[in-house]
């Protein structure tokens, strides 16, 4: 099988009939944008790198780009700096000099130094024919006499100089290296003339060039021991270079762009040589040049680490090939031979037992023994899939007439880094048109499962994934059978949120299609973490999947509206953030004064207008905007950001987070309550509405009880908040003349009591009901529940500064015990770092004031069993505003979700 590495493509391929070189897709538009960077020659190296990196975001997700940058950057070491890539340029590609120079220049500008070697076949043919020399070949090798060699040397030097000059014009340092690298003997002087066979590669000139900050540009000319120049095939020279340097990538740039199916015309994304080579070479249609090319690549990769791979692409697709999971050309790697067996004995009981002992998470946690795991395996017909070194083992249970379940997917470190996981999964997908599998909801490799699933939903810290089914009813019917027969580890349908259409594709998978999703989209892997789908991303020092590694890139934030209590809380959090810094803080009243409470740098308040914001976004001055403005004031600034983004040469919009209510009902914006509505949607978004403080607590209180809501009655929330929640007004100037803000309502004005306000139709009432309706189980109305969620909300102000306590009374459509209610909350939120479920008692002010998270307790049921009362609490300035904003900002910028948030 000729495998596909593209996430959104089918794993099955059309029958092969004729393998041929053919053209690639049109040039990636992002490559054109890179030309603008050549004018930024006065920028600092870091600024230059940041600019190019942002341009790369137009061809792949931020996570993909940053992952590959990290992998490639870590591949080189001062003692051996040439381990990133060897790029061989065909002579025909030299005629596309502008595109070629741009593609190489962008690598240089992000600090990557490939070793470049070029041929000049078409140019040489043109000149020798013009000068009356008739070219002659034996076995595809050009016979080279003295006259031909004289012309060849002149052509090679001219083409080398043309490429070096084109790079230098773009501000990219390049060094021509036309001798001193290859030593050769005569291949067969009597037969081929002055054609060499390389016997030695001296990498010192290449490494010296890279250490000096210049790309080494080589010709494929060699010298014999006595100084005779010899002609060497450029492909062979590139291969000998690769054997000496052992790079991550060997890239062949030609005008064809890859290997294409001779009948269907479909590009072959991946060839796994260990699995496919012998069968390919036996096919009658693999012959002549194609057969020779595959044989040469096989021989080359057999000499290199498994982390190395070969890519055949067009010059204008270089960045897409290197920095995206889907790639652009044909990727050829050694891969692994796979097996599948229907019995433990065929696999080897001892080997399988050892794999389960070493990798099964249930065994490692002590929940099960190896014997129990093996015993459970035998309960239904099964197939064991894997590779010969046992780097990956997967087990699929498939009773006759039932939908299969992948019960285990256990990967070693090597299996992860070499993407054997993807090969095994494709083998499974070839055998099973439909498949379910389960996963814990706290895995750090959150993208892998979503990218391969057509749908998913989560309950109690565990997710259920599937592919091959598009109908919700069919999914629920299958799950019901699993639960009745004990084929999955727990019940999903009775209390977990039901499947519903998702609102955005998974982060890191442009174009990925998932028909359904859930209220808590946080995938995990079975066994060890599962890595990215890209086959050659194998040399990162971190054994965990690079796709899951959070970013550590420094980024800048502008805060618009910083006078209020929430703005001050955000400033304090960003001050302790390991990667974020405040570049602009805007306040009309405080413009010109220094920002207090921020220690990273000296920041002066400004009074940014929408025009200022538009210009800053156009120039890419900040990575994120936080709008801490009163309701109804935000839109002009958001519109300015949008206009600036359209004018920007970069392709990635800055992230905008609105702390007000202006965009909480906008479907084009992501509602940022990660614990309920998922992390991936936030991570994939650039426009995020931060939930209201009361609305956050109300939704967290009601969500686990959604399947039990009474259709004819509504939950009622009694909320009481510290007076900071009422906002601020201008106070008297301080002794230095600086304007100050004070609370709109004070503890003294309340006389020690509480004050009710907005007794009906509070905006948080509508906000909570609207978003909870999005995750209401689809079966609710048909099974006697409501068709949408409505709540009643009565807010109060209390004489303390910050902290909200919300008491909810929830009418039920069926009796439930207090213990069952508590279990629902523990299952729903047990893995959330910012949520605490109290063992006993109810939350008090001391539990929430100054606390970064949300706490819930009480869990009382009326004697009738038909009404639940419980209490939740949070700090309105933190989890109700600033902390939640930072959660969303971290996710959107690719950081760890809790970076800068004190978890204790």
Active site residue 693: yes
Q: Do strands 259-261 and 19-21 pair parallel, antiparallel, or not at all (unpaired)?
A: antiparallel
- Count CB-CB contacts under 10 A for residue 490: 14
**770: three-class secondary structure by DSSP:** helix
In what helix (H) or strand (E) does residue 229 lie, and over which residues does it extend?
Answer: strand 229-231
Q: Provide the H-helix boundaries in 115-260.
A: 121-130, 146-169, 189-192, 204-211, 234-245
Alpha-carbon span 262 to 267, nearest angstrom: 9
Alpha-carbon span 489 to 486, nearest angstrom: 7
Instruction: Determine what percent of the chain falls in helix, strand and coil, rounding each to the nearest 5.
Output: 35, 20, 45
Choice among 18, 634, 693, 885 that is catalytic: 693
Closest CA to 320 of 708, 644, 32, 655: 32
Structure tokens at 782: 């048909």
Closest CA to 676 of 517, 489, 551: 517
Is residue 322 a contact partner of residue 260, using CB atoms and an 8 Å limit?
Answer: no
- Residues contacting 339, CB < 8 A, separation 6+: 347, 385, 386, 387, 388
Rounded to whole angstroms, the maximal C-alpha distance in the chain is: 108
Give the position of tokens 């409470």.
597
Is residue 557 a contact partner of residue 582, using CB atoms and an 8 Å limit?
Answer: yes
- Residues contacting 357, CB < 8 A, separation 6+: 363, 370
Q: DSSP states of 500-523 as a string?
A: B--SSPPTT-TT---S-B-S----
Q: Provide the H-helix boundaries in 145-217.
A: 146-169, 189-192, 204-211
Alpha-carbon span 530 to 447, nearest angstrom: 9
How would you classify residue 522: left for phi > 0, otherwise alpha for psi between -120 and 50, otherwise beta? Answer: beta
Please report, to the nearest 10 degrees, the dihedral formed by the alpha carbons of residues 126, 131, 134, 140 taken in order. Answer: -40
- Count CB-CB contacts under 10 A for residue 767: 24
Helix axes 45-56, 62-73, angle to 10 degrees: 130
Q: Do strands 115-118 and 85-89 pair parallel, antiparallel, or not at all (unpaired)?
A: parallel
What is the Rg, in whole angstroms, of the alpha carbon atoms belonging to the chain? 31
Alpha-carbon span 116 to 22, nearest angstrom: 23
How would you classify residue 568: left for phi > 0, otherwise alpha for psi between -120 and 50, otherwise beta? Answer: alpha
The DSSP call for residue 738 is -
Is residue 647 a contact partner of residue 678, using CB atoms and an 8 Å limit?
Answer: no
Alpha-carbon span 706 to 868, nearest angstrom: 12
Is residue 662 a contact partner of residue 853, using CB atoms and an 8 Å limit?
Answer: no
Alpha-carbon span 225 to 418, nearest angstrom: 40
Q: DSSP states of 438-487 as a string?
A: EEETT-S-THHHHHH-SEEEEETTEEEEEES---HHHHHHHHHHHHHHT-
Alpha-carbon span 142 to 128, nearest angstrom: 12
Active site residues: 693
């Amino acid at each position: 099988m000729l495998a596909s590495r593209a996430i959104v493509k089918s794993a099955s391929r059309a029958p092969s009939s004729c393998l041929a070189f053919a053209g690639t897709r049109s040039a990636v538009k992002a490559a054109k944008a890179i030309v603008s960077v050549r004018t930024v020659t006065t920028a600092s190296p870091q600024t230059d790198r940041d600019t190019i990196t942002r341009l790369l975001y137009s061809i792949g997700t931020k996570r993909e780009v940053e992952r590959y940058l990290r992998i490639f950057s870590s591949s080189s070491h001062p003692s051996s700096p040439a381990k990133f890539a060897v790029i061989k340029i065909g002579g025909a590609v030299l005629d596309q000099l502008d595109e070629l120079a741009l593609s190489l220049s962008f690598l240089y500008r992000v600090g990557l130094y490939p070793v470049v070697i070029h041929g000049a076949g078409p140019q040489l043919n043109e000149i020798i024919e013009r000068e009356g020399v008739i070219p002659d070949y034996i076995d595809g090798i050009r016979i080279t006499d003295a006259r031909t060699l004289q012309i060849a040397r002149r052509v090679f030097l001219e083409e080398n100089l043309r490429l070096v000059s084109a790079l230098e014009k773009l501000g990219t340092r390049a060094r021509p290296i036309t001798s001193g690298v290859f030593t050769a003997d005569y291949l067969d002087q009597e037969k081929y003339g002055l054609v060499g066979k390389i016997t030695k590669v001296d990498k010192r000139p290449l490494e010296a060039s890279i250490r000096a900050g210049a790309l080494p540009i080589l010709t494929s000319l060699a010298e014999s021991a006595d100084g005779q120049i010899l002609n060497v095939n450029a492909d062979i020279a590139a291969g000998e270079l690769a054997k000496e340097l052992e790079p991550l990538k060997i890239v062949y740039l030609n005008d064809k762009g890859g290997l294409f199916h001779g009948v269907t015309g479909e590009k072959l994304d991946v060839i796994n040589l260990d699995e496919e080579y012998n069968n390919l070479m036996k096919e009658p249609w693999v012959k002549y040049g194609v057969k020779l090319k595959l044989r040469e690549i096989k021989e080359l990769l057999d000499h290199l680490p498994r982390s190395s791979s070969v890519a055949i692409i067009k010059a204008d697709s270089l960045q897409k090939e290197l920095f995206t999971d889907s790639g652009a050309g044909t990727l050829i790697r050694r891969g692994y031979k796979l097996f599948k067996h229907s019995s433990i004995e065929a696999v080897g009981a001892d080997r399988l037992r050892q794999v389960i002992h070493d990798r099964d998470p249930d065994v490692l946690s002590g929940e099960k023994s190896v014997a129990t795991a093996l015993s459970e395996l035998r309960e239904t017909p099964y197939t064991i899939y894997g590779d010969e070194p046992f780097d990956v083992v997967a087990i699929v249970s498939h009773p006759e007439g039932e939908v299969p379940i992948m019960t285990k997917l256990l990967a070693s470190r090597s299996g992860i880094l070499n993407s054997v996981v993807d090969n095994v999964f494709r083998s499974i997908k070839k055998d099973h048109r439909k498949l379910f599998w389960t996963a814990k909801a706290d895995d750090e490799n959150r993208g892998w499962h979503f990218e391969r699933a057509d749908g998913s939903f989560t309950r109690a810290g565990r997710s259920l994934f599937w592919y091959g089914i598009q109908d919700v009813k069919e999914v629920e019917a299958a799950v019901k059978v699993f639960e009745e027969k004990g084929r999955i580890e727990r019940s999903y349908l009775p209390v977990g949120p039901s499947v519903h259409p998702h609102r955005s594709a998974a982060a890191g998978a442009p174009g990925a299609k998932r028909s359904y999703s859930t209220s808590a989209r946080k995938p995990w892997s079975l066994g060890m973490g599962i890595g990215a789908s890209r086959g050659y991303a194998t040399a990162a020092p971190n054994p965990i999947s690079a796709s899951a590694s959070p970013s550590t890139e420094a980024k800048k934030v502008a805060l618009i509206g910083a006078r209020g209590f929430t703005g001050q809380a955000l400033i304090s959090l960003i001050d302790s953030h390991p990667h974020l810094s405040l570049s602009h803080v805007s306040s009309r009243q405080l413009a010109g004064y220094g920002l207090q409470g921020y220690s990273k740098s000296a920041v002066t308040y400004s009074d940014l207008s929408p025009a200022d914001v538009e210009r800053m976004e156009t120039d890419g001055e900040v990575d994120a905007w936080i709008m801490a403005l009163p309701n109804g004031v935000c839109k002009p600034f958001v519109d300015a950001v949008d206009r600036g983004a359209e004018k920007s040469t970069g392709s990635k919009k800055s992230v905008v987070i609105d702390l007000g209510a202006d965009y909480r009902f906008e479907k084009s914006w992501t509602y940022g309550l990660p614990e309920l509505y998922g992390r991936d949607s936030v991570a994939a978004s650039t426009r995020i509405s931060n939930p209201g403080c009361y609305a956050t607590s109300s939704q967290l209180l009601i969500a686990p009880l959604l399947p039990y809501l009474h259709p004819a009655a509504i939950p009622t929330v009694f909320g009481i908040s510290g007076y900071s929640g009422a906002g601020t007004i201008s106070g008297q100037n301080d002794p230095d003349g600086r304007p100050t803000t004070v609370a709109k309502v004070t503890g003294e004005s309340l006389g020690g009591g509480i004050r009710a306000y907005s007794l009906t139709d509070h905006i948080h009432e509508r906000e909570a009901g609207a978003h909870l309706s999005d995750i209401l189980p689809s079966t609710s109305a048909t099974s006697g529940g409501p068709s949408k969620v409505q709540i009643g909300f009565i807010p109060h102000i209390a004489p303390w500064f910050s902290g909200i306590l919300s008491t909810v009374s929830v009418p039920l459509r069926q009796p439930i015990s207090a213990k069952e209610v508590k279990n629902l909350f523990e299952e729903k939120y047990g893995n959330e770092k910012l949520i605490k479920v109290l063992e006993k008692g109810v939350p008090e002010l001391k539990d929430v004031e100054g606390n970064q998270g949300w706490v819930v307790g009480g869990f009382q049921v009326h004697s009738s069993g038909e009404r639940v009362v419980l209490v939740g609490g949070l700090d309105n300035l933190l989890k109700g505003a600033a902390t939640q904003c930072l959660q969303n900002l971290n996710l959107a910028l690719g950081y760890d979700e809790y970076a800068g948030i004190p978890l204790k």
